[in-house]
Amino acid sequence: MTDVVNAAPRVAVILLNWNQKEMTLACLRSLAGVDYPNFGVVLVDNASGDGSAGAVRRDFPQVTVISNHENLGVAGGRNVGLSHVLEEGADYLLLLDNDTEVDPGFLTEMVRAGEEEPKAGILTGKIYFHDRPDVIWCAGGTLDLYRCDFRLTGHGETDQGQHDQLRDVDHVAGCCQMITRPALDAVGLLDERFSPYFCEDTDWCARAIKAGFRVLYVPRARLWHHVVKKTEVSDRYLFLKGRNLLLFMRKHARPRHWFVFAFVALGRALKVVWRELRAGNIKHFFTMARGAFSVLKIRKK
């Protein structure tokens, strides 16, 4: 058994938690059933107040727990975990949401694709809705820079084998991103300017592709995601969405993209204004617009 472990590439699984103790414990229970022989788990706790870190230390003593003194957001918290495992020499680093549960063969399939596919950089699996286990939430994603439009492939489709081919994709959902060590060395950590959430995962994929690596969807690596539908959209969410979308465009769009996007954005803005006026929520539009204009204050790297 020791020879098998030593022969297998080392995988570091990084979970980020903020006040979701029960979901985190369920995720760790699913990881305990994984058949891959050489992996470790690091939990980064973003200053939870529900006893999450203590519960993990008690129930899963083999898991490394890092407790942040404050909530660093998604990118900031994950970077703490990435920096920690880099020192341990992992071959693959998997960012996995704590509200997911994985198939026992999940890691084996991910690593197999990473080892067999040339220039593999970032990989993901076939992600299902947890409450509808045969319905796909995400099978990779597409990106249209002319419209600044991110799409999840297969979203809402019942799985009938229509997305069973390993393929290159434009981006993968942040709830499951496994990056190879060479890719991480080339592109660096997540961009914390996107914190607390939104676009940092897509930006990572875009940077990997620019560096010559492939972003891959691995259909035989299966997992299930607890997806909570937003019933109300907060002003903070709208502000950050507007800011981060424009920040993403500033980082990755070329002049031809901006030329088309200017007309697309104008048409989209007029449509949103009309919709929000009819709903009596015109402030939502201006909140998102303020977020977009705030990008001008962010220093370009």
Residue 148's closest CA among 49, 244, 22, 274?
Answer: 244
What pLDDT does residue 242 have?
A: 77
% of residues, the chain, pLDDT over 90: 70
Q: Which residues are CB-contacts of 273 (< 8 A; sequence separation ≥ 6)?
A: 282, 285
Cα–Cα distance between 301 and 299 in angstroms, integer? 6
Question: pLDDT tier at 296 (50, 70, 90 boundaries)?
Answer: low
* 61-97 pLDDT tens trace: 999 999 999 999 999 999 999 999 998 889 999 999 9
SS3 27: helix
Name which residue leads in pLDDT, 249 or 28.
28
Helix orientation angle between 52-59 and 21-32, rounded to the nearest 10 degrees: 30
Do 213 and 117 contact (CB within 8 A), yes or no? no
Question: pLDDT tier at 289 (50, 70, 90 boundaries)?
Answer: low
Do 93 and 179 contact (CB within 8 A), yes or no? yes
What pLDDT does residue 1 have?
A: 47
* 130-175 pLDDT tens trace: 999 999 999 999 999 988 888 999 999 999 999 999 999 999 999 9
* 223-249 pLDDT tens trace: 999 997 765 667 777 777 778 888 898
* Res 281 pLDDT > 90: no
Residue 188's closest CA among 165, 156, 160, 211?
Answer: 211
Do 137 and 227 contact (CB within 8 A), yes or no? yes
Q: Which residues are CB-contacts of 246 (< 8 A; sequence separation ≥ 6)?
A: 148, 291, 292, 295
Task: Say if pTM beats, i.e. exceeds, 0.85.
Answer: yes
Name which residue leads in pLDDT, 198 or 123.
123
What pLDDT does residue 232 have?
A: 61
* Res 121 pLDDT > 90: yes
Lowest mean pLDDT among 46-60, 131-145, 250-264: 250-264
What pLDDT does residue 231 have?
A: 55
